[in-house]
Structure 1
Amino acid sequence: MKRLYGAACFLFLLQTVSSVVVPAGVKRNDSPVIGVLAQEVSAPTPGKNAYIAASYVKYLESAGARVVPVMIKKSEEEYIKLFKSINGILFPGGGASIVSSGYAKAAGIFYRLALEANLKGDYFPVWGTCLGFELLTFLTSQKLLLSHTNTTGVALPLDFTKESKDSRMFKDFPDDLITSLAKEPLTENSHRWSITTESFNKSEKLKKFYRILSTNTDGQKEFVSTVEAYDFPIYGTQWHPEKNAFEWTRPYIPHTPSAIKTTFYTAYFFVNEAKKSLHSFSSQEEEQKALIYNYSPKYTGKRSSFEQIYYF
């Protein structure tokens, strides 16, 4: 397919959703490598221009994946080469602009490449958490549809929709965990902006592309908290599944047995999605040079909301 760019690309790809074919019985890749997108630090210093919270790395590793940091401000050619080497990508939470940052620009390229690849039957999953979730709604709708919500530092139960029962994301969760997620405050929220259910339902592009799996409320506004695309392996949570098991800096992060199970079942789901991708590096040496193992995380728990951070 001829490569398209910008908004015209998204519009064309979304109009051709019906042609998506996910191969039945696709071969399984038991050595998945997943990219985690870096983002700008608020006050850059030499050697600290971008970062990735280590909890996202641990989260994916806990379910059997290896991680490659996806650096910001690289050329499109570099991103295309990396896309062909990794088996999925995670857009993490944070504080970057979802319109103009290096984080947003890199994510836009990977989102477009994922749509193109999946339309051709080349399975490639995408996950967005918190800021990454908000970015997915922007990339899909091409509009800023977010509203301010009082959801900074609170754990909530999920208000599941009817569509969650047959969803790819939740269908293999144990029944007792689904019950706990619906009744207990197991999902940590650290966001000031949300897409309200009303705004989501007014967007034909979002309604056509995503099914809503859960919602939540801050007491005033109902907002969308979990989605998955109908015809693409693209997923998003406004909440943070990685924090329950790997972050300890805030008292509102849940660490109960059910909360920890939520972390691992969510990670297990996405890593198994990545196992359906057969992308690979051109050589073992190239793969080894790209892995996060080449970097060392810094302990930042005393001054940050993250226990550990990788700086680049």
Structure 2
Amino acid sequence: MKIIIFLALFIGITYTLNLNPVIGILTIPSDEDYTEYPASKYSYFAASYVKYVESSGARVLPIPYEADEATLDRYFSQINGLLLTGGTLALETESGPSKYLQTVTYLLNKVVKANQQGDIFPLFAICLGHQTLHFILSNKDYDILSPTFGMIRVNKKLTFTDKSSTMLLDLKAPILKQIEIDNQIYFNTNWGVNPSYYQTHSELDNFFKSVALFSDAKGTVYIAASEGRKYPIFSIAFHPEKPIFEFKTLSQHQFESVQFGRNLINQFTQIARENNHSLKDSNSVIFKYNPIQLESASFAQIYFFKLGELNI
């Protein structure tokens, strides 16, 4: 009888999961290197982020960083998780917070509020996204972002500080060990968050727990990965998508780095399946857009969007 009850409960839980998760990827202003697609007219993200999400069994909905709050509300109600990409931009401008910073701040508040109300909603922040979250959560303390040395297009090892993290579930010990002894994790950043700031900024320490660290070329230690203490928020300083999908960079494609990156997105998407936000129009997902190949870009393919083009 106990076995029958257990099976019934298990089946009930399984069927409440959302089997058609949709992950929103926030665009960022076009890079100055892409002269054919100026930031005054275009936003973008690399196609590898799309492939990364799709590899976990989810669809992608591109979200325009320039959208107003009412539009962002519509997007949020129709996605099951949010991914913030890497990239280069100024978080603050002479006139105040950049539009990207304003949008991330608004969406972060929505993520936190949703989870507080029992609506499980995960967020995955990579590189620029990682920096932006820490900047916001430190009450916009510029000192929270310290310059790194020798961290442009390099592969590094990680030191894990919490192997029980949700981010690392299902990874076998030999993979974690190899990540700790071999330079397999791809970084491309000028900025890092020193773990000491978690002690000096209680708002950060209350929000995040450290999962992994890395050292730059001068031996200075920085946060490589953090996870929300109360909320399903993954924040990482490296690029887990590149070992799997980018071949124009120096990212490593060993078994361990590929499996490590795949596990991160799989854990994130599995959490996204726990909410029932529903996409109203399947034609709004990424399939209707075509990525572009640029000889000068470090990405294999890029999605560009005209400002104002994206809407639901």
- Distance in structure 2 (CA, Å) of the matches to 1:92 and 1:35: 11
Is the 1:30–1:275 contact (alpha carbons within 8 Å) kept by the matching residues of 2? yes
Q: TM-score, normalised by structure 1?
A: 0.86
2:118 matched residue in structure 1: 121
- Distance in structure 2 (CA, Å) of the matches to 1:245 and 1:102: 31
Provide the alpha-carbon RMSD of the alignment: 1.8
Q: Residues 22-171 of structure 1: matches in 2 within 5 Å?
A: 27-43=16-32, 44-45=37-38, 49-99=42-92, 100-142=97-139, 143-144=141-142, 145-150=144-149, 151-161=151-161, 164-171=162-169
* Equivalent residue letter for 1:88: G
- Distance in structure 1 (CA, Å) of the matches to 2:117 and 2:223: 30
Report whether the alignment pairs 1:192 with 2:190. Answer: yes
Q: Which runs of 5+ in 1 are unaligned?
A: 1-24
* Equivalent residue letter for 1:125: P
- Distance in structure 2 (CA, Å) of the matches to 1:72 and 1:205: 26
Cα deviation code 1:90-119 (max 9, x no counterpart): 010000223433322221111010111100
Q: Are the structure 2 counterparts of residues 48 and 259 from structure 1 closer, same or farther at C-alpha, using a change threshold of 3 Å? A: farther
Q: Which runs of 5+ in 2 are unaligned?
A: 1-12, 306-312
In the alignment of these two chains, the number of paired residues is 281
Moved beyond 4 Å, runs of 4+: none
Report whether the alignment pairs 1:224 with 2:223. Answer: yes
Structure of higher CA gyration radius? 2
Is the 2:211–2:225 contact (alpha carbons within 8 Å) kept by the matching residues of 1? yes
- Distance in structure 2 (CA, Å) of the matches to 1:183 and 1:210: 25
Is the 2:43–2:304 contact (alpha carbons within 8 Å) kept by the matching residues of 1? yes
Is the 2:153–2:188 contact (alpha carbons within 8 Å) kept by the matching residues of 1? yes
Q: Are the structure 2 counterparts of residues 48 and 165 from structure 1 closer, same or farther at C-alpha, using a change threshold of 3 Å? A: same
1:46 is displaced (CA, Å) by 9.3
1:15 matched residue in structure 2: none
Is the 2:84–2:125 contact (alpha carbons within 8 Å) kept by the matching residues of 1? yes
1:19 matched residue in structure 2: none
Is the 1:66–1:291 contact (alpha carbons within 8 Å) kept by the matching residues of 2? yes
1:234 matched residue in structure 2: 233
- Distance in structure 2 (CA, Å) of the matches to 1:167 and 1:177: 15
- Distance in structure 1 (CA, Å) of the matches to 2:278 and 2:300: 31
Cα deviation code 1:205-243 (max 9, x no counterpart): 111111101111113311011000110011111010000
Match of 1:297 among 284, 291, 298: 291
Q: TM-score, normalised by structure 2?
A: 0.86
Cα deviation code 1:135-171 (max 9, x no counterpart): 111122212210000111111111111xx22211113
1:244 is displaced (CA, Å) by 0.4
